[in-house]
Structure 1
Amino acid sequence: MADQVCRECHRIVSGQTCPLCGTSNLSSDWSGLVIIVDPEKSEIGKKIGVDVADKYALKVR
């Protein structure tokens, strides 16, 4: 099964709901991958509004 992305927080998830925000509004049409390891020190993490270390999509359709 292909990974899906939460349309709300852009987190890449493998289940039917997002464990971060709890929504089931997921999409399999996404592009761009960024992995945030340390969200407090990450400039990219701050720019995209991430505060939890994980994998995120840059664009979700």
Structure 2
Amino acid sequence: MDVACRECHSLHEASVQTCPVCGSSSLSDDWAGCVIVAHPNQSDVAGTMNVTQLGTYALKVR
């Protein structure tokens, strides 16, 4: 996972052209920290980050 979506912060392999989670084409390889969300509807962290789908997310995307 090399790029993060600037819109939803989901992490993906560098070969991805658009975010499969939200459809945005605004991707960045400049990101920091990550969190794995397994149960988004039960997670306080997911709620704070507005995450609704399970996956791996960057904490900060530039």
* TM-score normalized with structure 1 length: 0.92
User: Which runs of 5 or more residues in structure 2 are unaligned?
Assistant: none
Alignment map for 1:1-61 (pairs within 5 Å) = 3-14=2-13, 15-61=16-62
User: Which runs of 5 or more residues in structure 1 are unaligned?
Assistant: none
Deviation at 1:20?
1.1
Aligned structure 1 segments of 4 or more residues deviating by more than 2 angstroms: none
Matched to 1:38, the amino acid is: H
Q: Among the aligned pairs, what percent are the same residue?
A: 48
What SS does structure 2 have at the residue aligned with 1:9?
A: coil
Deviation by residue 1:23-51 (Cα, 9 ceiling, x = unmatched): 11100000010000000111101111100
* TM-score normalized with structure 2 length: 0.90
Q: Quote the RMSD (CA, aligned, Å).
A: 1.0
